[in-house]
Amino acid sequence: MVARIIDGRSVAAEVRKQAAEEAKLLWEEHGVRPGLAAILVGNDPASEVYVGLKQKACEEAAFTFRRITLPEEASEEEVMEQIHKLNTDEHIHGVMVQLPLPPHLNENKIIDTLSPEKDVDGLHPVNMGRLLLGDEGITPCTPTGIITLLEREGVALRGKHVVIVNRSKIVGRPLMVMMINRDATVTVCHSKTVNLAGHTRAADILVVAVGKPRFITEDMVREGAVVVDVGINRVEGRIVGDVDFDMVKEKAAAITPVPGGVGPMTVAMLLMNVLKAAKRSVEK
Ligand code: NDP
Ligand 1 pocket check for 266: Cβ under 6 Å: yes
The pLDDT of residue 244 is above 90: yes
* Average pLDDT value for residue range 259-268: 98
Report which secondary-structure segment, H or E, holds 84: helix 76-87
Ligand 1 pocket check for 176: Cβ under 6 Å: no
pLDDT value of position 150: 98
- 131 band by pLDDT with thresholds 50, 70 and 90: very high
Distance 92 CA to ligand 1 centre (A): 30
If one counts the domains in the chain, the total is 2
Distance 168 CA to ligand 1 centre (A): 7
* Average pLDDT value for residue range 169-182: 98
Residue 13 lies in a domain: no
* Average pLDDT value for residue range 68-72: 98
- 54 band by pLDDT with thresholds 50, 70 and 90: very high
Q: 83 and 171: one domain?
A: no
pLDDT value of position 221: 98
> Contact, 273 vs 141, CB < 8 A?
yes
The gap from C-alpha 188 to its chain's centroid, in whole angstroms, comes to 17
Share of residues in the chain with pLDDT > 70 (%): 100
* Average pLDDT value for residue range 171-193: 98
Q: Locate the ligand 1 atom nearest the alpha carbon of residue 262 and give its number.
A: 41
Residue 7 annotated in active site: no
Q: 81 and 148: one domain?
A: no
Q: Looking at residue 105, which CATH number applies to its domain?
A: 3.40.50.10860
Q: 163 and 252: one domain?
A: yes
Strand partners, 188: 164
Residue 18 annotated in active site: no
The pLDDT of residue 184 is above 90: yes
Q: Looking at residue 198, which CATH number applies to its domain?
A: 3.40.50.720
> Contact, 173 vs 195, CB < 8 A?
no
Ligand 1 pocket check for 201: Cβ under 6 Å: no
Share of residues in the chain with pLDDT > 90 (%): 99
Q: 163 and 249: one domain?
A: yes
- The pTM score is 0.98
Q: 170 and 226: one domain?
A: yes
Ligand 1 pocket check for 262: Cβ under 6 Å: yes
Q: Give the residue from 81, 210, 227 showing the smallest Cα distance to 149.
A: 227
Distance 191 CA to ligand 1 centre (A): 9
Q: The domain containing residue 37 runs over which residues?
A: 33-115
Distance 45 CA to ligand 1 centre (A): 19
What b/e string do you get for 246-283 counting C-beta neighbours within 10 Å, with b at 16 or more?
eebbebbbbbbbbebbbbbbbbbbbbbbbbbbbbebee
Residue 27 lies in a domain: no
Q: 77 and 159: one domain?
A: no
pLDDT value of position 284: 75
Ligand 1 pocket check for 141: Cβ under 6 Å: no
pLDDT in tens, 73-89: 999 999 999 999 999 99
pLDDT value of position 1: 80
